[in-house]
Chain A
């Protein structure tokens, strides 16, 4: 037997060591992953949540509303994508909301919701969110929880560095990810002429302080780079805006290699008060463009789309003291400003550190002209001159930073799947927790404002391989809720999200719930085809257009028998929901309609267009279980062949006369 020979003993030792090593190398937190202080996330039946959480739907194009801490999905608000459930983009009234200079666009990629603020504090009035692909910014009204306005951004492509606001919602900004030849230039140029022909743009969209209506005030023309994210200054730094940019190499191909060559890219600091001065002094240049501006009226219950044709450009090369560049290591992604406004955090996603810049030092560097040359005419600040310090060894792949009210920052680490808590002033790392897995954005309620509510933090993860039951090739992406009220972060809940969650916002529930609209007042309905009572229901013919002013109230339509409509007609069902009661929508659909249902709120009018292609009997019904007699809420529209002489007629509750009871002979001419 050789078992106890020294050589074998050595193997045993190695095996034991390996075993020990394996144990310690288990992904950190697999044990804590299985725990979670669920009681802290428990909101008892019949209780409200503490916070509203507005989460971008990413490639769903929508925005989801969750309650925190429960993680309950309260609503999905359609924004940039059609939503047949709500008739969004299908009803005649909502179609113009998705109009663009490229025509009707039924989808987009929504990344960064940002709530309106007053004096740097979340005020609960609106949420702005960007559409990336066909560059747009939407404004969602938090009284109706509906998209109220969408504005297209010219001279842009990949509207990623958006939609972030200044501290009194003076502006919402939109920075282009792709630099492109400007809209009025010839875009039909060789792609490898990037350096000559491609330009960047950041747009400042003025927000009306009362109505919320948006208007592009000016665009700042910049060198061709990729803008990634941005955040406004606040407090002392109010009047400035900070944008992260990468691809300062100006590569036009294989960016994963070619845009990672330089040690540093930039944080672009924009003095927007200076830009306002230049604008006022007429230093801007008018440019002919085409972009859509769509607004929804809660009075007419209809959207209008207008094509705007002019924009004012302020050139960063020509106008001094407006734009500066701060070197920032390796392709910065997140660009986040702490609640005091003093510290600007740039997260180089390929960097092994997180640089923190000081606004005071930045101002001094500008005054001292501590420049390191320029980049296409824009002064480049000396890195050290603006630097507060670096968070050393924070983790791998730092992306985004949010803040609490105690001077702490929380940075997401995509590669090492963790959240790192550090002190903004001392830059000392205080705590780290794992996420499951590959966290992108993270969010503290009010965590990018002057007044964070540092009780919870939510991480938004890309990968959930072992978290939920498998559902085929695509798995749900996730949100993970942490309690950050103590020194150590604690995972308390894990819930799936719609689409892909990017950035999110949250605010105390009481700030928003008190303004929530219960229904639309029927007497204020200014829709051209409203029926303000069953007596106003009617069917009228205008050439081949048939307008049906139809009403719904528990539990019938008026009219519910319609005859005299012919193949070749365009039928418009203008449904008015006569209810004046909370939580009583009525739906409408007709057999064979090739668009969607209507879902009409009390006091509202919405229109379904239908082009019947065959003679026959077409039932319609209420699609929302409205009442005990919902299943009785139905009707018929008779479609006769083209040229038929069946007279136009409509009724509800008419009992058959003996003659009408007989089989009618086909009434064609």
Chain B
């Protein structure tokens, strides 16, 4: 039964593909001289000149493949390629590995998309929060409407939610990326 469903789905997708193809054929007559637009939205625009945005920085980092996969699964690639400005706390692959086994795989399942989005949003602040503007005890509103807490030690070192260390600060065209060594987990919902 499951197999039949899969075949049907595949057939359906194929038929859409065919239909789309036909449509493309019709419009090419009007645009055969035209330079092509990127089919993948603003994040796919070929632009080697501009300063890299947050998504491009993450995609370019070998330490952030898990985060990039999560952004794709959560459909947040276009949003984080937006004008911003954002401050994104970007956990490394090692940070994700610290989570209990199976957590990431679980979140990557289709029916957990809202949970994944909630976690990603908890790593994003709207606005540019530079380190020198951060104060001990400062609370910052995150995109999922929860707050993170900044602590600043006597040595000036900043921790997020008491445990996550900032490993690097990378300016992006649309904000700022803080590479962190722990995944920030939003408070449990009431």
Question: Which A residues are within 8 Å of any B CB, using their own CB?
Answer: 39-44, 46-51, 69, 453, 508-510, 513-514, 518-519, 554-555, 579-582, 584, 626-629, 653
Contacts and interface: CB of A to CB of B under 8 A. Distances in A.
B34 A584 contact: no
Interface centre among A39, A49, A627 (most CB of B within 10 A): A627
A554 B133 contact: no
Given A554-B83, A554-B85, A581-B174, A629 B127 contact: yes
B128 interface: yes
Given A581-B50, A581-B174, A40 B127 contact: no
B35 A628 contact: no
B37 interface: yes
B51 A69 contact: no
A628 B32 CA distance: 37
B36 A48 contact: yes
Given A46-B39, A50-B30, A513-B35, 11 more contacts: A43-B30, A48-B31, A49-B31, A50-B31, A50-B34, A453-B33, A510-B33, A518-B49, A579-B173, A627-B85, A629-B126
B33 A51 contact: yes
A510 B31 contact: no
A554 B174 contact: yes
B50 A555 contact: no
Contact of B34 (A41, A48, A582): A48
8 contacts: A43-B31, A518-B47, A554-B84, A554-B174, A554-B175, A582-B45, A627-B84, A629-B127
B53 interface: yes
A509 B35 contact: yes
Interface centre among A43, A44, A581 (most CB of B within 10 A): A581
Contacts, number: 86
B27 interface: yes
B35 A40 contact: no
Interface in B10-52: 26-27, 29-37, 39, 45, 47, 49-51
A41 B31 CA distance: 10
Contacts of B27: 42-44, 47
A518 B50 contact: yes
Contact of A582 (B33, B47, B127, B175): B47
A626 B31 contact: no
Interface in B133-190: 133, 173-175
Contacts of B35: 48, 509-510, 513-514
A509 B30 contact: no
A627 B81 CA distance: 12
Contacts of B39: 46
Contacts of B51: 579-581
Nearest to B82: A628
Nearest to A45: B37
A554 B27 CA distance: 38
Contacts of A40: 29-30
A579 B32 CA distance: 35
Interface in B69-95: 82-85
A626 B133 contact: no
B173 A629 contact: no
Nearest to B41: A46
